[in-house]
Amino acid sequence: MSAANTVNPPVVFTQDELGWVSWIDPLPEAELTERHFAGLVDRARAKSEYFRLLVRDPEVLEARTKTDKDIFYNVADGLPRAERELAAAATSRYNGCIYCASVHARFASTYSKRRDDVQRLLDEGVKADLGERWNAVVKASVALAATPIAFGPDNVEELRRAGLDDAEIVDVINGASFFNWANRLMLSLGEPSK
Amino acid sequence: MSTKDIIDMLAGIEPGSGLDAIRARRLQARENAQKSYLSLFEPIDAGDFSLAERAAVAAFVTGLHGESPVAAFYRQKLAANADGTALVEPIQIEIERGKTSGPYGAFPAGPLSVENKAGLIYRVSTERKPQLGARLVAALEHAHLLVFRPRDAASADMKALLAAGWSTTGIVTFSQLVAFLSFQVRVVSGLRTLAAASA
């Protein structure tokens, strides 16, 4: 809120690093207690306005953060990280979260080494032709993001044809569903800034 | 933490099934989706957002996604709350008034404006406002925005909630609740679809 006059909102989807400015007051760093640090999970997140806002409810933030980390970072088996990030980026592109899309498009590019394809998803939208496997992941993510939910047997069939087993399909479902959580917070509690 | 896993229950995942084994490979996610549910619906402190309000918003949000085991679960939770029973019917009527298809809304003015999609700007009916009260009226209107047109959200929406008596902390928990349910209803639907496709 204090920085409202300095916000320079992006008007296109981008892989550039963006800032984020809260519309309501985050907790001041000086007021954080051990209960809040437990909620932040990583102490370094105390520097982030977004996390200092969410930490107003530390128990929910802690559980949300740990859910997020396991869905995306636990790559002991299942879907490669790049495609989990693709599901996050596609969901964000479809819902319209420029900030979330920027972060997860960057991760998708880093892990897949397919930066141009990721950029086409951002530029052309969720109908961009990215090859059978990525198309199936994007289409499934979009179907899950729709309200009412449009994910159906055809999506499962397409994912299987593209080579995903059931554990990998569950990773798509988790990753895409999680971004329906993340997008709504990022979009409604503040705004991105270049 | 002895409560049954809500996602497993709502998705009909039986112990020992294939999906049970797959979910067990993401144990931290499974346990923390459950902890998210518990911290939202059985919180340490409900001072900024009462349990009846939580159940009312949850019934509304999941109902807007269409009838499902998830919607029935939260409707029952509302009915079971002493202050919530009387809200079941007005919430049900508002769900029917609010049902539409999303996501829609406007992008920041610029090249993306061609993708803007118009849709229902939901407002609680005047008739139901006295039954629901100012806080819930503001909450339902904002919840509808979060469900169907999150990209339309603006700082003015935060001011509307503050003006209706929501604290900043209450807004954070309320936003988490709607956003969490948006996740939960999709995981349940996705897992049910996958289970049916594997049968």
Residue B63 counted as domain residue: yes
DSSP letter (8 states) at residue A78: S
Residue B1 counted as domain residue: no
pLDDT at A4 over 90: no
Give chain B positions within 8 Å (CB) of A12.
110-112
Quick one: pLDDT at residue B77?
A: 98
Alpha carbon of A109: minimum distance to chain B alpha carbons (Å): 22
A67 touches chain B (CB under 8 A): yes
Preceding amide of A148 cis, omega within 30: yes
**What phi and psi, each to the nearest 5 degrees, are found at residue A162?**
-80, 0
CATH 1.20.1290.10 assigned to A81-187: yes
B107 touches chain A (CB under 8 A): yes
Alpha carbon of B9: minimum distance to chain A alpha carbons (Å): 17
Candidates B175, B178, B184, B192, partner chain A, best to mutate (most A CBs within 10 A): B175
B16 touches chain A (CB under 8 A): no
A54 touches chain B (CB under 8 A): yes
Read off the pLDDT of residues B2-30 as tens digits, 9 standing for 90 and up.
Answer: 469 999 999 999 999 999 999 999 999 99
Domain that holds residue B35: 6-198
Q: What is the ipTM of this complex?
A: 0.97
Quick one: pLDDT at residue A3?
A: 47
Residue A41 C-beta-side C-alpha neighbours within 13 Å = 14
**What is the pLDDT confidence band of residue A1, given thresholds at 50, 70 and 90?**
very low
The DSSP secondary structure of A146-161, one letter per residue, reads SBS----HHHHHHHHH
pLDDT at A84 over 60: yes
Inter-chain Cβ pairs, chain A and chain B, closer than 8 A:
198
- Quote the percentage of chain B above a pLDDT of 70: 98
Amino acid at A132: E
**What is the pLDDT confidence band of residue A126, given thresholds at 50, 70 and 90?**
very high
pLDDT at B199 over 90: no
Quick one: pLDDT at residue B166?
A: 98
* Domains of chain A by residue range: 8-72, 81-187
Mean pLDDT over each residue of chain A, to the nearest integer: 96
pLDDT at B1 over 70: no
Residues 6+ apart with CB under 8 A from A150: A142, A143, A144
Looking at the structure of chain B, the number of domains it has is: 1
